[in-house]
């Protein structure tokens, strides 16, 4: 298949859907590194024009990575609602954009067409959208999920308390956890990134957080972000887990590099239903982010944004409680600066919601990227405006184990105040009982970890 177009007296030609998608992406270094991005600004626009004219069925009939060779493609296609797809297959991507933005289209309509859209189409339509387009469309969609508590309700914003320590010292982790809770952070999950990925060490941290939740009667969920195989082993030994974690990629090759397959995720999910401590039905926590396939050399010539969208199409299969987007975690070889990071965050939040997922955002930056705290805070405010379900909560914004910056306990509390949002329902009541919050505002004692002495 190929397309050609005249723009400003220049001729442009594209010979595959993959090429149209890659060249119509907003500028990002990862696509350049992969050698697939547009070589001029006008070529980028030519690709966008071509993209706007392509019918949805063209995407459906030509997956960017073949069904036969890729498990991610298979999960996306097998889960698609054929009836809904047939209703909209004649639409062009340009028409889809206008349908999404129309005053007549709300959550009901978007949830319905979402079941008939392939991930490549969702990526494509985002490439025709500006920042305000993406925020307005994202605002229309909110998706709830329940583990022990319910995430995603109107006017509520949750946080994962991320109390990491460079050598997993339980006492050090506990202090950071107490500090986070005293700022109202931790209603999404208490989630520790372990430095040591062994069953013994991970089990110790799961027991510790579980016991702390029991002792203080905290309505939330615990999780240790080890590899899924480590968590499965721990679960089989009776270790208390309420939420199971895994990082995902948008190609089978990328997932293989993560040591992951559909059957492994199926196994983890089934075990969580049988042995997990949570009410459910949503028992999985996934992390994703633009660029992982590029850094794993598993992109197969597809652009970062489209692969991210495919990751959501894959993730959806296990009805997760949280999908956290961490674009910006890798470095300047994928997202160069604050501008590219903010754009990726807005695209990812929109694309995740178009897949019907309970999305959260981690606006992050590393120290070798051209981004700073100001960029991160802008990304945080914009995605809160766009209705993200949750953010991370890191002491002082500095993760001392993973060596990158993320939203701080202070940022969490500030985003709630700025937008008049409340913690998750049960957790808010707990904060009130603890005297940390009154009428949605932090009290004088907030920010003092020693209240848990």
Contact residues toward other proteins (CB under 8 A) are 29, 32-33, 163-166, 169, 171-173, 175-176, 178-179, 183, 331-333, 336, 366-368, 372-373, 395-398, 400, 403-405, 408, 410, 413-414, 417, 442, 445-451, 453
Q: How far is the CB of 413 from other proteins (least distance, A)?
A: 4
Q: How far is the CB of 292 from other proteins (least distance, A)?
A: 14
Contact 64, 21 (CB under 8 A): yes
Indicate the residue among 42 and 400 with the shorter CB distance to other proteins: 400
Indicate the residue among 54 and 362 with the shorter CB distance to other proteins: 362
Q: Where are the alpha helices (DSSP H) in 79-188?
A: 82-88, 93-101, 107-114, 119-127, 131-139, 170-182
Bond from prior residue into 281 cis (ω within 30 degrees of 0) = yes
Q: Cα–Cα distance between 44 and 29 in angstroms, integer?
A: 14
First to last CA, the chain: 67
> Would you call 78 helix, strand, or coil by DSSP?
helix
Q: How far is the CB of 251 from other proteins (least distance, A)?
A: 19
Indicate the residue among 149 and 164 with the shorter CB distance to other proteins: 164
Indicate the residue among 71 and 412 with the shorter CB distance to other proteins: 412
Question: Which H or E run includes 223?
Answer: strand 222-224
C-alpha closest to that of 126 among 298, 292, 312, 293: 312
Q: How far is the CB of 176 from other proteins (least distance, A)?
A: 5
Task: Identify the bridge partners of residue 437 per DSSP, sorted by sequence position.
Answer: 442
The residue assigned the tokens 């220049």 is 10
Indicate the residue among 72 and 437 with the shorter CB distance to other proteins: 437
Indicate the residue among 15 and 367 with the shorter CB distance to other proteins: 367
CA dihedral over 320, 431, 172, 452, signed as positive or negative: negative
Task: Identify the bridge partners of residue 370 per DSSP, sorted by sequence position.
Answer: 337
Q: What is the CA radius of gyration of the chain?
A: 21
Task: Identify the bridge partners of residue 322 per DSSP, sorted by sequence position.
Answer: 285
CA distance to 84, 194, 382, per residue, from 326 (Å): 31, 17, 15
C-alpha closest to that of 185 among 164, 162, 161, 152: 161
What is the 8-class DSSP label of residue 318?
A: G
Indicate the residue among 58 and 295 with the shorter CB distance to other proteins: 295
Q: How far is the CB of 70 from other proteins (least distance, A)?
A: 24
Indicate the residue among 29 and 324 with the shorter CB distance to other proteins: 29
Q: How far is the CB of 18 from other proteins (least distance, A)?
A: 22
Neighbours of 55 (CB within 10 A): 17
Q: How far is the CB of 430 from other proteins (least distance, A)?
A: 18
Number of helical H runs and strand E runs in the chain: 21, 16
Q: How far is the CB of 290 from other proteins (least distance, A)?
A: 15
Indicate the residue among 63 and 289 with the shorter CB distance to other proteins: 289
The two structure tokens encoding residue 49: 């024009």
Q: How far is the CB of 336 from other proteins (least distance, A)?
A: 7
């Amino acid at each position: 298949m190929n397309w050609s177009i005249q723009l400003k007296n220049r001729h442009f030609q594209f010979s595959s859907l993959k090429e149209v998608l890659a060249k119509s992406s907003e500028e990002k270094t990862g696509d350049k590194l992969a050698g697939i991005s547009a070589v001029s600004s006008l070529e980028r626009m030519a690709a966008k024009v071509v993209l706007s004219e392509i019918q949805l069925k063209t995407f459906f009939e030509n997956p960017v990575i073949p069904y036969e060779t890729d498990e991610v493609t298979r999960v996306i296609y097998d889960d698609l609602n054929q009836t809904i797809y047939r209703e909209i297959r004649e639409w062009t991507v340009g028409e889809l954009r206008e349908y999404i933005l129309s005053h007549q289209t709300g959550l009901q309509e978007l949830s319905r067409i979402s079941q008939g859209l392939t991930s490549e189409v969702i990526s494509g339509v985002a490439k025709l959208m500006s920042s305000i387009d993406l925020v307005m469309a994202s605002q229309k969609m909110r998706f709830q999920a329940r583990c022990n508590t319910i995430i995603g309700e109107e006017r509520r914003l949750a946080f994962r308390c991320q109390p990491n320590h460079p050598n997993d010292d339980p006492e050090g982790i506990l202090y950071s956890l107490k500090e986070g809770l005293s700022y109202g952070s931790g209603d999404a999950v208490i989630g520790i990134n372990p430095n040591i990925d062994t069953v013994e060490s991970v089990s110790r941290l799961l027991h510790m957080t579980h016991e702390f939740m029991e002792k203080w009667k905290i309505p939330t969920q615990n999780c240790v972000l080890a590899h899924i195989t480590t968590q499965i082993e721990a679960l089989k030994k009776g270790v208390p887990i309420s939420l199971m974690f895994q990082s995902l990629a948008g190609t089978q090759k990328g997932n293989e590099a993560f040591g992951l397959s559909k059957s492994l995720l199926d196994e983890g999910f089934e075990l969580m239903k049988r042995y997990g401590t949570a009410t459910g039905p949503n028992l999985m926590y996934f992390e994703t982010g633009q660029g992982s396939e590029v850094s794993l050399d598993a992109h197969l010539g597809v652009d970062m944004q489209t692969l991210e969208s495919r990751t959501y199409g894959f993730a959806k299969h296990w009805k997760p409680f949280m999908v956290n987007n961490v674009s910006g975690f890798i470095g300047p070889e994928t997202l160069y600066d604050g501008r590219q990071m903010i754009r990726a965050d807005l695209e990812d939040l929109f694309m995740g919601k178009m897949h019907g997922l309970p999305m959260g955002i981690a606006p992050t930056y590393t120290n070798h990227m051209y981004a700073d705290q100001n960029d991160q805070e802008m990304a945080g405010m914009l995605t809160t405006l766009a209705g993200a379900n949750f953010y991370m909560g890191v002491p002082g914004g500095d993760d001392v184990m993973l060596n990158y910056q993320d939203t701080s306990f202070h940022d969490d509390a500030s985003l709630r105040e700025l937008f008049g949002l409340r913690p998750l329902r049960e957790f808010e009541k707990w904060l009130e009982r603890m005297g940390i919050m009154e009428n949605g505002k932090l009290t004088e004692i907030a920010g003092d970890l020693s209240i848990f002495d």
